[in-house]
Amino acid sequence: MKFGIYYNPLWISPEVVKNPDKYKVKGTDTPVADLVITEPQDIGGGKTLQGDRFDGGQGGERALYWLNVDHPDAEKYLKGYIDFFAEQGASYLRVDFLSWYESGYDKGLGQIGTGHTREQYRKALQWMNEATEKNNIFLSLVMPDLNNHGEYEQKYGDMIRIDEDAFSGGWEHISGPRQE
């Protein structure tokens, strides 16, 4: 049996943002709180989020923040997280909710967050790939949008999980006759 971790290194806890003097990017004087966008974000449909947030059900102020990959110390933070996982003995990293980062969209819930640019998404995947390769960690990319036939996911991941489930174990919803 091998040790794997289910986590997204693009997530930043609101507690870290509330305590900027307490949490720094390893090897720098940069507060981790500086790596997030806290200004209100319009996500369309009359909805606004307080900052660039991932709300996977935590709700409101408990929702996680997304890492601002355009910050100069973002790469060091993300790769540092993966280095930490490797130091703990992890040989597998499963990164979920990638479509929620890339487009801010969930096919069942609609627009739930602020999407990020293709370049920001590419950069995040590239950094994850570089850090996992360096640490000999298998990188599983979960729920990506797979734009351009999975262009970035094929280049930067070891495995993907599509944005759909097999429900009760069958594939009828994918391969069965279409019900009108």
* Cα 25 from Cα 115, distance rounded (Å): 24
From the list 34, 83, 106, 158, the catalytic residue is 158
> Judging by DSSP bridges, how do beta strands 11-12 and 40-44 pair with one another?
unpaired
From the list 52, 73, 96, 145, the catalytic residue is 96
Amino acid sitting at position 71: H
13: left (phi over 0), alpha (psi -120 to 50) or beta: beta
Backbone φ and ψ of 6, nearest 5°: -105, 105
Rounded alpha-carbon distances, angstroms, from residue 52 to 43, 55, 65, 110, 178: 10, 10, 6, 17, 38
Residue 12: CB partners within 8 Å, gap ≥ 6? 32, 35, 36, 64, 65, 66, 67
Catalytic status, residue 34: no
Catalytic status, residue 96: yes
- Here the tokens at position 21 are 């003097």
Active site residues: 96, 158
